[in-house]
Homo-oligomer: A and B are copies of this chain.
């Protein structure tokens, strides 16, 4: 009997050309399908993820599903996958789900986080995991601006011009920023995100923190529906796909 498995995984994006398979490139999907193929003695197994992540972007809770004829308990699936995966991918959980579960189409909410270090000194140990931004920052202005994103908006201004998606309306449920010592962390939850959307939001918020833009400028930037109105795209290596929520959670 065919079983559908839901799989939660974490990966360090530094060594990957993103999630999705591309010819000749090292991607997360390639490594997962390679591990599954070994477990299935050479048979190809296709996986579907909640969405792509770009080169350098990390995941703490990426979700994917696949189908298998193998009858293996959930904990043994986790062990087998981790034994066959490289050390920069780790399967946190494998769950048996109903055959109509779909990792991409059933997403209800997604949470991303973005990590920034304001420390003067560069930290060699997290150089690929945190955006080093050693500049003074007006945290109150950033917090005020965060509030202006909440709700349903057309996010054309906060989306890479390269995108092909037509409907650019998304709902942001929460956008918070927390400063612990010199570490700044953005947390954003929404019903879906456009290409580069979190990185452009963070880039714009950092410009507001620098005083180059004002918190209230968010209103006119959203209104403009023009990528040129927003700030720069923050680099990929500070971004984490943190959690994907489905109806059953």
Contact = CB atoms under 8 A, between A and B. Distances in A.
Interface of A: 10-12, 58, 82, 87-90, 92, 121-127, 129
A124 B92 contact: no
Nearest to A58: B125
A14 to B, nearest CB: 9
Nearest to A82: B122
A124 B10 CA distance: 7
A58 B126 CA distance: 13
Contacts of A126: 125
A128 B92 CA distance: 19
A92 B90 CA distance: 33
Contacts of A87: 122, 124, 127
A90 B121 contact: yes
A123 B9 CA distance: 11
Contacts of A124: 10-12, 87-90
Contacts of A90: 121-124
Contacts of A122: 82, 87, 90
- Counting chain B CB atoms within 10 Å of each CB, the highest count among A58, A88, A122 belongs to A122
A129 B90 CA distance: 16
10 contacts: A10-B123, A11-B124, A12-B124, A12-B125, A12-B127, A58-B125, A87-B122, A88-B124, A89-B124, A90-B123
- Counting chain B CB atoms within 10 Å of each CB, the highest count among A12, A122, A125 belongs to A125
A12 B87 CA distance: 17
A146 B123 CA distance: 30
A82 to B, nearest CB: 7
A125 B57 CA distance: 12
A60 to B, nearest CB: 9
